[in-house]
Structures are given as structure tokens and as C-alpha cells.
């Protein structure tokens, strides 16, 4: 039987000290890190980008099927994704957690293992945070800080008529991973003896439990000398996020169903559940891919990048937001995909 150390035996400061004892600083901009009243950062004339996210047990994650290490990793990734979505590079994070006494020190070590793995992979310093008692479950708050060359940041409101709508990677996988896990959880709670049936579903499960942030796309855009006119990360589903860009840019759009990238395992599992893969891509969310618009003249620079799909274009606002289906029908785009699912 593995040992269980009660958090109370260390106390709050003892716990933070224990979990951050091997924390190393990677960035020159990190002047003072964990262990003081506040971190001190100096970004040497670059602009600073800040974002934060709250993850609450029972709302954003379910510990029945989410390993703590994966949860630590994902908590960092969802914030780094927002920094990349500003065309910036993440440099530091601050992590606050609320935990009840059902968690042991060992459980928190697992969680932090995931946090550190993400920090290491994305070259980010953990510079501070807070732990508190929670009487309801596990609460995670991450703030990410990044930097960008002066005025090279990209907002959501810059899309122009004629711009091409682009997306990285593929969509809908995380949502189907969630449906698979919820299905297996239900079976497990009804009959614990039944072995979970995850055969061949590694891809969609990984996209749910251990997503990645698209640093590679931001590097590629920089190397290719492309500054998107607008950008955001896809956390709520392609359709609602594209509608955000259109609304904030005061523009319309045309989206082509057959251009929306969906991976083969995603498509297969959707069919298995009698679902439309396009609906999953449009409405799923949590893919953490980048959605951005570029000027038409930049098209040749990214045409050979297999990780980027051009899926439509921006129009005048009077034309509204539409999707053209495979059967060449035009539907108004709604936050849930399109009205055909209404």
C-alpha cells in the first residue's frame, strides 16, 4: 500500500515549500520567483501579456477519469494557449489551488508533476501562487504571463474583408474524448466490474486529457513573416469562436464544411455514436487549436504547412456568418454549429 501523507502535517507554507523545492528559473525576466511575497519580473522593453483561467472540479474536470498528472499539465496548457493566441510567448505562470482534506501530499505531488512537465516542455517558469482549503472539491487558478515584441500582439478585432480564415491542427477530438469518458463513467458507476472499452481511442482521449498548446504555429508564423489580422484559441468550439472574431471585427464570414479539419479517429468515433463529425468540430470546444485570419497575399507562405487549414474567408458584416455544407447548401452559422442541428 502506498503511503499517504496528510497535508495538515506540512501546513500551507510547508506544502508550497515541499512542492516547489526543485523549482528552477529558466528566464532572465524572472528576477524573484517562488518564496517571497510576490514575484518580480522584468521584461526588458518587451510588452507583457497576462491571462488567467479558473478550473473547478465538477465543472471543468471530473476526477473519476482525469489523472492528476494530466490535470496539472492541462491546467498550464489552457493558459499558455491564450498567450500564444495573442501571438506572444509565455514566460511565467502563477498557480493557485484550493484543496479539501481528501487530497494527500502524494496526490498533490502528482498534480505538480504535470504542472512541471508542461512548464519544462513550453519553457515557462512557475513563479508563485497560493494554496487554500476548499470545502467543495479541487479548485485550480492559473495566471500566465508572456511577452511579445512591441505592438506585434494580435487581437480578435482585426479581421478585414477578404481575409482568409485559418485553423491549426484538427477539431472535435476533445469533445468526443469527453463523450467517451462520460459514457465509460456511467457504465462504471452502474457496474464497476465491467472493463472500460477504450480500444483504439487513444487519439481522442489524449486530446481531452493532455492537450497541447500551438507554440509551433506561432513560431511558424514568425519565421514566415506572417502577422495574423485576428486570432484566438478554440476553447468553445469553432463556430462560437469564429463568431467572436466576426462580432469583434464587425465582419461576416463564409465557412466551408469540407475544409474543416477532422482527424480520422474523431470521424470514426463520431459515426459510432451516430453523430455528425462536423457538428463535433463546430460545437465541441477544448481543442486549443488556433483560429486566425490572414491577408490573402500571405496565402502562399502557408500553403505547404500541413498543420494549417484555410477554411473560409471574411466578408462585409451585412452578409452575415454562413457555412456552406458538403451538399453546397448555405446555412447561417450559429454558436451551436448551424441551425440544421436546432
CB-side neighbour CA atoms (13 Å) of 309: 18
pLDDT in tens, 68-120: 999 999 999 999 999 999 999 999 999 999 999 899 999 999 999 999 999 99
Write out the residue range of the structural domain in which residue 80 sits.
7-148
CA distance 310 to 254: 11
Whether the Cβ atoms of residue 90 and residue 50 lie closer than 8 Å to each other = no
Q: What is the CATH number of the domain that holds 337?
A: 3.90.650.10
Q: What is the CATH number of the domain that holds 84?
A: 3.30.1330.10
Same domain, 49 and 96: yes
| Residue 18: predicted pLDDT | 85
Domain count, the chain: 2
Same domain, 96 and 226: no
Which residues is 321 bridged to in the sheet? 253
Residues of the chain with pLDDT under 50: 340-342
Q: Residue 52's closest CA among 23, 89, 94?
A: 94
Backbone dihedral angles phi then psi of residue 175, each to the nearest 5 degrees: -65, -45
Same domain, 76 and 196: no
Q: What is the pTM of this model?
A: 0.90
Same domain, 169 and 138: no
Report the length, in residues, of the chain.
342
Same domain, 81 and 227: no
| Residue 311: predicted pLDDT | 98
Amino acid at each position: 500500500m502506498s503511503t499517504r501523507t496528510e497535508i495538515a502535517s506540512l501546513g500551507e507554507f510547508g506544502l508550497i515549500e515541499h512542492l516547489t523545492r526543485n523549482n528552477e528559473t529558466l528566464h532572465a525576466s524572472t528576477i524573484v520567483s517562488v518564496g517571497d511575497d510576490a514575484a518580480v519580473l522584468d521584461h526588458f522593453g518587451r510588452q507583457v501579456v497576462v491571462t488567467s483561467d479558473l478550473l473547478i472540479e465538477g465543472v471543468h474536470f471530473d476526477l473519476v477519469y482525469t489523472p492528476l498528472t494530466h490535470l496539472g499539465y492541462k491546467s498550464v496548457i489552457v493558459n499558455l494557449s491564450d498567450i500564444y493566441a495573442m501571438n506572444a510567448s509565455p514566460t511565467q505562470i502563477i498557480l493557485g489551488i484550493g484543496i479539501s482534506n481528501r487530497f494527500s501530499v502524494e496526490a498533490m505531488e502528482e498534480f505538480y508533476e504535470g504542472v512541471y512537465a508542461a512548464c519544462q516542455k513550453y519553457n515557462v517558469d512557475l513563479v508563485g501562487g497560493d494554496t487554500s482549503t476548499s470545502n467543495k472539491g479541487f479548485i485550480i487558478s492559473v495566471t500566465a504571463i508572456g511577452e511579445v515584441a512591441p505592438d506585434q500582439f494580435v487581437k480578435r478585432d482585426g479581421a478585414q474583408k477578404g481575409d482568409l480564415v485559418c485553423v491549426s491542427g484538427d477539431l472535435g477530438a476533445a469533445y468526443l474524448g469527453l463523450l467517451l469518458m462520460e459514457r465509460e463513467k456511467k457504465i462504471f458507476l452502474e457496474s464497476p466490474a465491467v472493463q472500460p472499452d477504450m480500444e483504439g481511442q487513444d487519439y481522442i482521449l489524449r486530446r481531452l486529457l493532455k492537450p497541447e498548446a500551438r507554440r509551433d504555429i506561432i513560431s511558424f508564423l514568425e519565421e514566415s513573416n506572417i502577422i495574423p489580422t485576428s486570432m484566438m484559441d478554440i476553447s468553445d468550439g469553432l463556430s462560437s469562436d469564429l463568431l467572436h472574431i466576426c462580432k469583434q471585427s464587425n465582419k461576416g464570414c463564409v465557412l466551408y464544411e469540407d475544409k474543416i479539419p477532422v482527424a480520422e479517429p474523431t470521424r470514426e468515433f463520431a459515426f459510432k455514436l451516430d453523430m455528425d463529425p462536423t457538428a463535433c468540430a463546430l460545437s465541441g470546444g477544448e481543442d486549443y487549436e488556433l483560429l486566425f485570419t490572414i491577408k490573402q497575399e500571405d496565402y502562399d507562405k502557408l500553403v505547404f504547412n500541413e498543420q494549417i487549414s484555410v477554411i473560409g474567408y471574411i466578408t462585409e458584416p451585412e452578409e452575415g456568418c454562413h457555412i456552406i455544407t458538403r451538399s453546397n447548401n448555405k446555412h447561417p452559422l450559429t454558436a451551436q454549429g448551424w441551425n440544421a442541428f436546432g
